């Protein structure tokens, strides 16, 4: 019985992770459609400049909040996570 409870908790955490990632994807796409560039792409080379600049652009348009944490712990990054991890 306990294993069933653990599995349900894991399923809820996984669904939350997928939901937040879909919301972040939608926020980036919405930003792109509105400004014709990626959030955080100040030099318009088609790449994110840094996590901070992505979050700053998304937050300035009220499209996403950096404070959103993964249900597994930690914050979401846009390709600039610590490579040593």
Q: What is the pLDDT of residues 32-74, one digit of tens each?
A: 999 999 999 999 999 999 889 999 999 999 998 887 678 787 8
Nearest in space to 27 (alpha carbons), one of 71, 57, 72, 70: 57
31 vs 57: CA distance, rounded Å: 8
Say what angle helices 51-60 and 2-35 make with each other, to 10 degrees: 80
Domain spans in the chain, listed from the N-terminal domain onward: 1-85
Q: Is the pLDDT of residue 77 over 70?
A: yes
Closest CA to 78 of 61, 56, 45: 56
Residue 83 has pLDDT above 50, yes or no: no
């Amino acid at each position: 019985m306990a294993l069933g409870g653990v599995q349900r908790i894991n399923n809820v955490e996984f669904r939350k992770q997928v939901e937040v990632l879909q919301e972040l994807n939608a926020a980036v796409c919405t930003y792109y459609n509105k400004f014709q560039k990626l959030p955080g792409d100040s030099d318009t080379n088609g790449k994110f400049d840094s996590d901070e600049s992505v979050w700053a652009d998304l937050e300035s348009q009220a499209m996403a909040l950096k404070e959103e944490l993964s249900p597994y712990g930690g914050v979401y990054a846009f390709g600039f996570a610590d490579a040593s991890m």
